[in-house]
Structure 1
Amino acid sequence: MELNFTLGIIVVTGLVSWLAFSNEGLLQRLLLWPPAVTRGREYHRFITYGVVHGDFMHLLFNMITLYFFGGYMEYFYAERLGTFGFLGFYVSALVASALPSYLRHRNDPEYATLGASGAVSAILFGFILLEPWQTIYVYVIPVPAIIFAVLYVGYSIYAERQQADRINHSAHLAGAAYGILFTVMLEPRVIGHFWASLLNP
């Protein structure tokens, strides 16, 4: 399957994140910092926070996950929404997954968040509705997509409670919910398809 926007997103995100690793000024201009939005009306941060990451492993994990699932979902959304359907979904997922934490911290100048995790999570859970038993490889270990998703959510909950970095782990959960709702609203028949697939591995 040809990957268009998926590879484009990976390249842009990888390049900008890499540059921001050694450029604190660039990082600060792109991450989601509530006062910049609330007071400065820098609404672009709801999107640009998704092209910078906390460290290389954060970037690698997100981009590998996007690579595994993005091509399939790009085709799915393009069929129903047109050529730019997947790109529109990805951008809207960045916004939707950041909103809960932004609203919770909108008056907190100490809070900032970054990373594509929310949008990637939305893609992941959209994919799981369609192919819950599809095998993927995590560090060469074969794992069914639905098991990977459970582990992904579990890690997100754990990491959010630890709050040891600037990664918006709660966005994983918000993104997952958005991916499911968006996909079901776009194609309600996926609910029946999901349950049938889940019961017949």
Structure 2
Amino acid sequence: MDINIITIIIIGANALASFKGFNDYAFFEKYKFSIGAITRGEKIRMITSGFLHVNPQHLFFNMFSLYFFAPVVVAELGNAKFIIIYLGSLLIGNILSYYFHKNEYHYTAVGASGAVMGIIYSAILLQPGMSLYLFFIPIPIPSYIFGVGYLLYSIYGMKAKADNIGHDAHFGGAIGGYVFTLLFATYLFKTNVTMILVLAIPIVLLFVLKRLGKI
């Protein structure tokens, strides 16, 4: 699979910042996502936290996912729009996370998952006919089923609050990828309205549940 220089730079930036954080506690603490710090005015953490990871396995999983899906977005939309989707999804993921946890002063998080989920959702919109092979499922899964299923699982995770996964950041990233892609590829409204509606289902469901106080 071809990988372009922009994707390599993003992966490199994540690796450099993450390994610095693995070995430098003060650096990690200074730039991680923290409700308390952001509330005090340290808004830069909304971006910097997306380049830090908990451990090498966390870093590898996110960068491997980016490596797989990035070429689809780059090929369809070009480097500049790919960067906007990546950084925009990262930011929207953290904004949604802040919205859901704003009263939890000690809540913290790190990881590129929101940005990567934005790229994944973008790729699914652009190439809904893709099939994915997941590690634990030996048959190909249509990409749109994966996308909808993953967001439904994220809603469950946000309701259950039974793990330390930033489900809200993942969800916000997917929203970013969805919105930016539709802004950049308006032709999709003519060629793939059904898929646009299908992928919108979990997004609408999240905000309905939030309004009803279920999350």
Same fold? TM cut 0.5? yes
User: Identity of counterpart residues, as a percentage?
Assistant: 33
**What residue number does 2:191 align with?**
193
1:35 CA drift (Å): 2.1
1:21 lines up with 2:22 in the alignment: yes
Question: Following the alignment from structure 1 to structure 2, what is the Cα–Cα distance between the partners of residues 163 and 191?
Answer: 38
Q: 2:100·2:168 contact (CA, 8 Å) conserved in 1?
A: no
**What residue number does 1:36 align with?**
37
Q: 1:119·1:175 contact (CA, 8 Å) conserved in 2?
A: yes
**What residue number does 2:210 align with?**
none
C-alpha change, 1:20 and 1:74, in structure 2 (3 Å) is same
Deviation sequence 1:28-52 (CA, Å, 0-9, x none): 111111222221x222111111111
Deviation sequence 1:94-135 (CA, Å, 0-9, x none): 111111221333343211121111111111111111211213
> If the length of structure 1 is used for normalisation, what is the TM-score?
0.82
SS in structure 1 opposite 2:141? strand
SS in structure 2 opposite 1:115? coil
Structure 1 residue runs of 5 or longer lacking an equivalent are none
**What residue number does 1:60 align with?**
60
Match among 169, 172, 177 for residue 171 of structure 1 = 169
C-alpha change, 1:151 and 1:58, in structure 2 (3 Å) is farther
CA RMSD of aligned residues (A): 2.5
Question: Following the alignment from structure 1 to structure 2, what is the Cα–Cα distance between the partners of residues 30 and 49?
Answer: 6
Q: 2:17·2:52 contact (CA, 8 Å) conserved in 1?
A: yes
**What residue number does 1:90 align with?**
86
SS in structure 2 opposite 1:57? helix
* Alignment of structure 1 residues 48-197 onto 2, 5 Å: 48-78=48-78, 83-139=79-135, 141=138, 142-160=140-158, 161-165=160-164, 167-195=165-193
Question: Following the alignment from structure 1 to structure 2, what is the Cα–Cα distance between the partners of residues 136 and 11?
Answer: 25
One-letter amino acid of the structure 2 residue matched with residue 127 of structure 1: A
Q: 2:85·2:176 contact (CA, 8 Å) conserved in 1?
A: no
SS in structure 1 opposite 2:105? coil
C-alpha change, 1:26 and 1:158, in structure 2 (3 Å) is farther
Question: Following the alignment from structure 1 to structure 2, what is the Cα–Cα distance between the partners of residues 64 and 113?
Answer: 20
Deviation sequence 1:125-176 (CA, Å, 0-9, x none): 11111211213333394433223323432443344333422x4211111211
C-alpha change, 1:107 and 1:159, in structure 2 (3 Å) is closer
Q: 1:35·1:107 contact (CA, 8 Å) conserved in 2?
A: no
> If the length of structure 2 is used for normalisation, what is the TM-score?
0.77
Question: Following the alignment from structure 1 to structure 2, what is the Cα–Cα distance between the partners of residues 104 and 152?
Answer: 19
One-letter amino acid of the structure 2 residue matched with residue 45 of structure 1: R
C-alpha change, 1:108 and 1:156, in structure 2 (3 Å) is same
One-letter amino acid of the structure 1 residue matched with residue 87 of structure 2: V
Question: Following the alignment from structure 2 to structure 1, what is the Cα–Cα distance between the partners of residues 186 and 80?
Answer: 21
1:69 CA drift (Å): 0.8
SS in structure 2 opposite 1:110? coil
